Each structure stands twice: as structure tokens, then as C-alpha cells.
Chain A
Amino acid sequence: MTTQEVSAVFTPLRKNWWLWVKENLFNSWYNSLLTVVLGTGIVYALLAALRSLFGFDYTILRVNLTLLMVGQFPRDMLWRPWLSGYLLVAAVALAAGLLKAQAQSKAEQAGLPFTKTRPGDVLRRGWPVLVLVVILLSLTQTITPTLLTVGLLAMGIAAYFLGRVIPARGRRLAWVGVVLLVLGGYLALAAFGGRGWSQWGGLHLNVFLTIAGIAFAFPLGLLLALGRRSSLPAIRTMSVTYIELVRGVPLITILLFAYLAIGFLLPENLKPSPITRILIAITLFEAAYIAEVVRGGLQALPKGQVEAGQSLGLPAWKTTRLIVLPQALRHTIPPMVGQFIALYKDTTLIQILGVLDLLNVSFIINTQPQFLGQGLFILTMSFAALIFWVGSYTMSREARRLEKKLGVGER
């Protein structure tokens, strides 16, 4: 391709689309040939994909939906994941409402414009999630999950508006409520004869490992990032060594190593469960990456900010806590979400340790006698891929939105 041709490809679509097609797809005999051959292939592939998608018998997903979602969680205890879901959605919605209300009062005090979230925005931003929920519900065998989901949605909306209307004085208490709800979300699954995370599986396990992994790795990564910039050589060297060592090794190696090494090193009665070992490995791995993300944020901060803190007589740790970190972490939100997405997908690696996560379940249900050898791999893998795509895409979209919003008002 010559430069002219390259630039032609990137010129915006003209009003006369036929002219565009002629200029870009049929401008020479070989280009015309390529267009015809590739075009036929693409159309054929699309048709085949569509036909097989509709031609598939979805029984394999219908029968195994619970397995795909929550693994081998005892079937007589399925109310527990639902209750947990209710509590967690309540926590997230309440937190979102509180954040929005806080942003609003801040903006109003400062005289800055503030845009309310409209239902249309939520639809535009959340359509992949909604589509996925509809697909999942279409695969259920009773009406109960649909009713529960509608209830979940209603409760989420209620919690959001509760967060919006709680007066400023009550917000601190409401945040305590958020924490309690999250805690309740775990206890609903584990406490009083339930099942702890060691016995979780399916999509639930992937999501849990992602969130818990980041939650545990974040404080560690923060310390490592600060350690890397420390003026004490011993701490600096240790931090750099750890970060570079871990970043130089694939996650799968660390997973295997943690899994086996912890098994060897600890006596039988102290051995953590496989999933706990996996969580430890993920935490140690992610901490190194988060440290580098945080370091980027720290480096972006002008030196004058620290000097201003110092000149006011603030001790070093208060300068860090009150001036450096609030600004630096704000800048790290977008790359941090990227890390989050990467981990979400990386959690599928744990299947090499024989854990029944979503991908592993999607794989092994094909070996069930009634589905064996029916070529349903494409279906089950597409299903798993769709679920991961929806999560990752939504996160990355929200990250981009945040990126745009940051730097407005408070800069």
C-alpha cells in the first residue's frame, strides 16, 4: 500500500458511500479480487456462526447453568448465593448513591456543574450486562431466578436512591452500613453451616478471586510502591527486588509454585486449602503490578506538592497520606482498572490446579455422558467468553468514563 492508499482508508466515510467503496475496495483488479474473495469468506463465516448459534441445542447450558455460575455449591443452599448477591448489590448500589451525593454536594459548594445520572445513561453504559442477564435468565428452568433478579434490580435501585437522599450528616454511618453489607455478603455464604471460599466454584469463584485478589494486593502494592521510593536503601532494595522478581515470572509459575510449595512446607494440619493458596499466589503476584501502577501515579505528581506539605511542617507520613496519595491514586484509577480486567481473565489459569472455575466447568461439562462427542465445545466456550467479555468490556468502558471525568473540577 502506498501512503496515498493508507490515507484513503482513514478518510472519513463520505456521503457517497459507493464512491468510498469504489476508491477503497475496487480501486485495482487485485484489490477487487481480494474484496470479493475475503467478502465471500466473511459473509459465509458470519452465516455459519449464526446458523450454528441458533442450531445448537442449549440443553447443555440449561442443565449446567448452576454449575457454571456457582460450581458445586450445595444445591439445597442456593438461597445463600442469592442472599449474598442481594447484600452485595445493596452495598454497591448504596455506595454508588453515596458517592454521587457526595460529588453533588461538593460540586454545588464549589459552584461547579453537576450532571445527574439519567436512566438513559445507565442503559447506554450497562447494555452488555443487561443483555447477559437476559441470556442467563432465558437459560433458567424455573421462574424463580427471574423473579429474584427483578427483585434484585428493584432493591438495587432503591439502595441507590437511599444513598442519594441520606443527608450529609448520616453519610458516615451509611458507609459503615456498606461495609457491614459486604461483610454480610460473605457471611451469607460461609457462616452458620454455609460454605467458605475454599468450596466455591464457577463464575462466582472467578469474580471472588478478582475482587479479593485486588483487595488484598492493593495495600501490599501501595507499601511496595512507597518502599521503592523510600530514602532508606534497605527498604528500597527489598521493594525493587520483590517487584522485579515477581514481574519477571509468569502468573502460572507463581500459581504452581505457591500451590506446591505451600503444600510441601507446611504441616498437614496447617495447610491452607487450594483456593486459599491460589488467593495468596494471586495477591503476591498482583501486588508487584499494582506497585508499578501506583509508582506511575506517584511520579506524575509535581515535586512542589511534597515541598508545600513539608514547608507547612507536615511530617513525612502525613504529607504522603494527605497530599501525595489522594492525588496519585486518583491518577492510577484507569491503569488500575486495566489491571483488574487482566486479573479477571487470568483467574481462569487456576484450572491447571484442578479448580472448578467458570472456564474449567465450561470445558468439563462436555464430558458428561449425554453431551459427550456432540461438538458443543464452541457453544460452551462462547458462553464463557461472552461472560468474560461483558465483565471486561463494562469495566474498561467505566474506566474510560472515569478517565474523562478525572481532571474536571478538582484540577
Chain B
Amino acid sequence: MTQATVYSDATHAKGEPIIELIDVDKFFGDFQALKDINLSVGLQEVVVVIGPSGSGKSTLIRCINRLEKHDRGRIVVDGIELTDDVKAVQAIRRETGMVFQQFNLFPHLTVLDNIALAPRQVRHASKAEAEATAMQLLERVGIPEQSRKYPGQLSGGQQQRVAIARSLAMKPKVMLFDEPTSALDPEMIKEVLDVMVELAKGGMTMIVVTHEMGFARAVADRVVFMADGQIVEVGTPEHFFTDPQEDRTKLFLSQIL
């Protein structure tokens, strides 16, 4: 495989690197899901990862907070290297928020309790403090009136906004989004993307796996294209969408645009 195409203006992360992946490999049995991944993400940078399904995009971001364990290489988040050490893993997970395709809200807890749970249990915030923060976050994602309801009573878009608020409640330095709009009905995609755009503008460091090219164009600092477990091409949105270098990228873009 040829070296990934990296544009001169995209070689380095925008700010101080906060996430670094160095020569990362990941196997599921005999299947190699990630091959020799090198990626550095800077503070306040928004990186959008795109690629065909099965290309390893989700595996990539799931390795960053250890939902999957990488087999080779190094992953460093905010100066902490991911190892088998439980404390390091916990420390990284506290700094890293994750939003899932299927929301994964806790159905037995109210919206408010969903958001307040982790701050109370992990950061040892008081009940009043955690609930006040939760309400602020619900205001921010635009659904404070739903705070006493259960996730099952909300629409998909509302649930995903709650999930984003739940992650933000831990005041993470990095947010990982794993296809946050893929399970939503079309009319609900926008409300979730709006929240993400607002988040990006507020300076949150984000890695977003998505098929929403509009979002990538508008918000991404860099776009990463993956195929077959490898990073094929990295570039700014302008470069990436108007002047892709690799055949694989051109093919993919021609299929989806």
C-alpha cells in the first residue's frame, strides 16, 4: 500500500496535539481492522472521518477510549498513554466523551438522571450541582422541558441530543462521535448536527465519524478518508472535496456525492 496522501497544510494538527495515534494496528481474529494508523489531532480541532462501511472508522475512534483494545502501536490522549493499566484507561475515558449511533441512553433513568449520573458517580459532584449542570446542558441542546421524561418517550433526535449532553456533563476535552446521525429519521438529522456545529464553534476537540458530507464541508478542519483499515487520504475539506488525489477517494466521492 502506498503512503497516505497528506497535504502540506494538513500534516500537523492545528493546535497542540491532544490525541496521537502512532502505528496503530487492530485485529479481530485474523481480520485486520486497522493497519498502521498514524493520526494526530490538535486541541480544538474538528476531524471528520469518512469512508465506506467496514473501513475501520468506528474501530478507530473506539480504540481511542478503549472500547476496543489496539494490538500494536501507541495511542496517547492528553499526555496519557493507553495501556492495560485500568487507571490510565479510566483517566482517558473521563477526558473523552463518546456519542453512539444507537444513542445508548440508560432507559431506566430519566433524562436528567442520565446526564447527572456520571458527574455524580465519577466526579463526585453533589446532586444539586450535577442536576444544575444537567439542566444547563439540556438548555444548550434545546430540550430542557424533557428533563423528567424517560428516553423511551423522546424522538430519536431528542435522544441523541440528550446523549451529547450526557457526554458533555463530564466536561471532556475530546468528543468522539460514532455515526451520530445514522440511526435518525431524515427530519431529525439537522437538530443533532446543529448541536454539533455549535459545539465545534465553541472550540471542542472533535473526531466525527459520519456520512454527512455537508457537515464535513462546513465544520471540519481536516477530513480523513479511510478504506480497508487504512488512512488513504487526509486533507482540508476544500482540498478533499474539490481535488482528491487518490483513486480510492475519487471513487468513494463519486458514489456518495
Cβ–Cβ contact A409 & B152, under 8 A:
yes
Cβ–Cβ contact B149 & A312, under 8 A:
no
Complex Cα spacing A109 to B148, Å: 6
Cβ–Cβ contact A410 & B152, under 8 A:
yes
Q: Is B118 an interface residue (CB 8 A)?
A: yes
Give the Cβ gap from B86 to chain A, nearest Cβ, in Å.
Answer: 8
Cβ–Cβ contact B67 & A110, under 8 A:
no
Q: Is B126 an interface residue (CB 8 A)?
A: no
Known: A111-B153, A313-B170. A411 touches B100 (CB 8 A): no
Q: Select B93's contact among A305, A310, A409, A411, beta carbons within 8 Å.
A: A310
Complex Cα spacing A327 to B108, Å: 7
Complex Cα spacing A69 to B109, Å: 44
Complex Cα spacing A409 to B118, Å: 23
Cβ–Cβ contact B118 & A314, under 8 A:
yes
Closest residue of A by beta carbon distance from B65 = A311
Complex Cα spacing A110 to B149, Å: 4
Q: Select A311's contact among B97, B102, B108, beta carbons within 8 Å.
A: B97
Known: A109-B148, A307-B67, A311-B97. A411 touches B122 (CB 8 A): no
What are some 28 contacts across the A-B interface (CB < 8 A)?
A109-B148, A110-B110, A110-B150, A112-B150, A304-B100, A305-B106, A307-B67, A308-B104, A310-B65, A310-B67, A310-B93, A311-B67, A311-B96, A311-B97, A311-B100, A311-B167, A312-B97, A312-B117, A313-B93, A313-B118, A313-B122, A318-B122, A322-B117, A409-B150, A410-B107, A410-B108, A410-B150, A411-B152
For this complex, into which size category does the number of interface residues on chain B fall? 20 to 34
Q: Is B105 an interface residue (CB 8 A)?
A: yes
B-contacting residues, A280-332, CB 8 Å: 302, 304-305, 307-308, 310-315, 318, 322-323, 326-327, 330
A-contacting residues, B173-201, CB 8 Å: none
For this complex, into which size category does the number of interface residues on chain A fall? 20 to 34
Report B-chain residues with C-beta under 8 Å of the C-beta of A305: 104, 106
Q: Is B222 an interface residue (CB 8 A)?
A: no
B-contacting residues, A68-101, CB 8 Å: none
Report B-chain residues with C-beta under 8 Å of the C-beta of A304: 100, 102, 104
Give the Cβ gap from B207 to chain A, nearest Cβ, in Å.
Answer: 13
* Extra contacts besides A110-B149, A410-B108 (15): CB < 8 Å: A110-B148, A111-B149, A111-B153, A304-B100, A304-B102, A304-B104, A308-B105, A311-B93, A311-B167, A312-B122, A312-B170, A313-B90, A315-B90, A323-B106, A330-B108
Cβ–Cβ contact B100 & A308, under 8 A:
yes
Q: Is B57 an interface residue (CB 8 A)?
A: no
Report B-chain residues with C-beta under 8 Å of the C-beta of A112: 150, 153
Report A-chain residues with C-beta under 8 Å of the C-beta of B106: 305, 308, 323, 327
> Interface centre among A302, A310, A311, by most B CB within 10 Å?
A311
Report A-chain residues with C-beta under 8 Å of the C-beta of B70: none
Query: Chain B interface (Cβ within 8 Å of chain A)?
Result: 65-67, 90, 93-94, 96-98, 100, 102, 104-108, 110, 117-118, 121-122, 148-150, 152-153, 166-167, 170
Cβ–Cβ contact A311 & B149, under 8 A:
no
Query: Chain A interface (Cβ within 8 Å of chain B)?
Result: 109-112, 302, 304-305, 307-308, 310-315, 318, 322-323, 326-327, 330, 409-411
> Interface centre among A305, A308, A410, by most B CB within 10 Å?
A308
Cβ–Cβ contact B121 & A322, under 8 A:
yes
Give the Cβ gap from A149 to chain B, nearest Cβ, in Å.
Answer: 39
Give the Cβ gap from B249 to chain A, nearest Cβ, in Å.
Answer: 30
Report A-chain residues with C-beta under 8 Å of the C-beta of B170: 312-313
Closest residue of B by beta carbon distance from A327 = B108
Complex Cα spacing A410 to B170, Å: 24
Cβ–Cβ contact B107 & A327, under 8 A:
yes
Q: Select A109's contact among B94, B107, B110, B117, beta carbons within 8 Å.
A: B110
Report B-chain residues with C-beta under 8 Å of the C-beta of A312: 93, 97, 117-118, 122, 166-167, 170
Complex Cα spacing A315 to B90, Å: 7
Closest residue of A by beta carbon distance from B91 = A313
Report A-chain residues with C-beta under 8 Å of the C-beta of B150: 110, 112, 409-411
Complex Cα spacing A306 to B118, Å: 13
Give the Cβ gap from A304 to chain B, nearest Cβ, in Å.
Answer: 4
Report A-chain residues with C-beta under 8 Å of the C-beta of B110: 109-110
Cβ–Cβ contact B100 & A307, under 8 A:
yes
Cβ–Cβ contact A411 & B65, under 8 A:
no
Report A-chain residues with C-beta under 8 Å of the C-beta of B122: 312-315, 318
Report B-chain residues with C-beta under 8 Å of the C-beta of A313: 90, 93-94, 118, 122, 170
> Interface centre among B97, B106, B110, by most A CB within 10 Å?
B106
Closest residue of A by beta carbon distance from B94 = A313
Give the Cβ gap from A402 to chain B, nearest Cβ, in Å.
Answer: 15
Report A-chain residues with C-beta under 8 Å of the C-beta of B153: 110-112, 409
Give the Cβ gap from A104 to chain B, nearest Cβ, in Å.
Answer: 14
Report B-chain residues with C-beta under 8 Å of the C-beta of A110: 110, 148-150, 153
Report A-chain residues with C-beta under 8 Å of the C-beta of B66: 310
Known: A109-B110, A304-B104, A409-B150. A311 touches B121 (CB 8 A): no
> Interface centre among A109, A110, A323, by most B CB within 10 Å?
A110
Closest residue of A by beta carbon distance from B97 = A311
Closest residue of A by beta carbon distance from B149 = A110
Complex Cα spacing A330 to B152, Å: 16
Give the Cβ gap from A218 to chain B, nearest Cβ, in Å.
Answer: 19
Give the Cβ gap from B168 to chain A, nearest Cβ, in Å.
Answer: 11
Q: Select B121's contact among A318, A326, A410, A411, beta carbons within 8 Å.
A: A318
Complex Cα spacing A96 to B249, Å: 63
Complex Cα spacing A355 to B93, Å: 57
Give the Cβ gap from B224 to chain A, nearest Cβ, in Å.
Answer: 21
